[in-house]
Amino acid sequence: MIRSITRRRALALSAASAATLAGAGPLWAEDYPSRTITLIVPYSPGGGTDIAARMVAAGLSDILKQTVVVLNKPGAGSIIGAQYVQKAAPDGYTLLFTACDGMVMDPAIYENLPYDTLTDFSPITDIVTFPLLVVVKANSPFKTIQDLVTYANAHPEKANYASSSSVFWLGTELFSQKAGLKLTRVPYKGAGNMVLAVMSGDVLFALPSPPPVIGQMKSGTIRILATTAPQRLADLPDVPTMAEAGVPGVVVTDWSGMWAPPKTPAPIIATLNKAVRQVLTTPEFQDKAKKLNLGVVGDSPEGVKQKMIADLKMWKVVAKQANISMKL
């Protein structure tokens, strides 16, 4: 009798547990995605990462058969947008589309970030790479990097530069270290704003990524003095590398990627990785990337994690040499 009651109780408990799990839903939705996906870009519109995010969003919408939208959340470099995603539900519907600065350079600068980029985000894939471009106002007297260096050394009170996120900050500080300059940083919200500051004469120069620069160069409002790429860019064959311009050791490649909140189920990460890599191979994406001087990548989640670890180690050295240590 006791055995019978125990068996019935066990069956009842089993049924109740199954009902509870069914009501709560599976750990990840097998029909993912079933609604709109939002890509959080932690910068103002118009910069290289924002443009790349919109390129990816259009392709993802086609492949996943769901709407994919871009939402800009700039502020505090890229910290506000990143923290928003870190705290989001790990269901694959709120994702971070950011540049490497927020993931490997901010940790090199800030002592008290509200998250650990290596453990509090789930890498999906890297997307594109960006060289940086040293730009000045088109009607400035600077025709070469050496012109800029000579002026900055002679007029340190006027030697200022525009910077938004930490890749532009540390990239310019690396240039400063190699050229022996003392520069003043003027912060802005995004790469597009940096370019506008150069055009208006509010700052002497900047090192933004190509997307917000190319159009201004073609319209004659911006002059490009050099690129931080390891070799000359195919679409800018007359622009020297920093080494060719007389300042060796300044090789900076910005890159953007996609991350999910921590503890996002592996099947969702795999679905997104596969879909994004499909987008990157499409002729439409390849053509747009070429026009913007973007390199196309697309690694595995583990590959992105290893890249983050290596880059963080390198930029910690640059930040230390520049005596940059910030608290929020």
Summarised one tens digit per residue, pLDDT across range 123-141 is 999 999 988 999 999 999 9
What is the extent of the structural domain holding 293?
Answer: 37-129+254-321
Q: What is the pLDDT of residues 142-160, one digit of tens each?
A: 999 999 999 999 999 999 9
220: left (phi over 0), alpha (psi -120 to 50) or beta: left
Q: How far apart are CA 299 and CA 307, in angstroms?
A: 10
Maximum C-alpha span of the chain: 99
Token readout for 75 is: 């502020």
* Confidence label for 29 from pLDDT (cuts 50, 70 and 90): low
Residue with tokens 């910069």, as numbered in its chain:
47
13 within a domain of the structure (yes/no): no
Bridge partners (DSSP) listed for residue 241 = 227
Residue 112 phi/psi, 5° resolution? -135, 50
- Shared-domain flag, residues 209 and 264: no
- Shared-domain flag, residues 84 and 146: no
Q: What is the pLDDT of residues 276-325, one digit of tens each?
A: 999 999 999 999 998 887 899 999 999 999 999 999 998 999 999 999 99
193 within a domain of the structure (yes/no): yes
What is the torsional sign of CA 191, 193, 196, 201?
Answer: negative
210 within a domain of the structure (yes/no): yes
Whether omega for the bond prior to residue 33 falls within 30 degrees of 0, making it cis, is: yes
326 within a domain of the structure (yes/no): no
* Confidence label for 28 from pLDDT (cuts 50, 70 and 90): low
CATH number for 158: 3.40.190.10
Residue with tokens 């005596």, as numbered in its chain:
323
- Shared-domain flag, residues 125 and 138: no
Q: With pLDDT > 90 as the criterion, what percentage of the chain qualifies?
A: 75
- Shared-domain flag, residues 222 and 144: yes
- Residues 157, 158, 160: CA angle, nearest 5 degrees: 105
Give me the sheet containing 37-41, strands edge to edge.
Answer: 68-72, 37-41, 94-99, 253-260, 122-131, 295-296
Q: How many domains does the chain have?
A: 2
* Confidence label for 2 from pLDDT (cuts 50, 70 and 90): very low
156 within a domain of the structure (yes/no): yes
Q: What per-residue confidence (pLDDT) applies to 46? A: 82
Token readout for 150 is: 């000579």
Residue 184 phi/psi, 5° resolution? -110, 125
Q: What per-residue confidence (pLDDT) applies to 22? A: 38
Residue type, 195: V
Token readout for 88 is: 């989001």
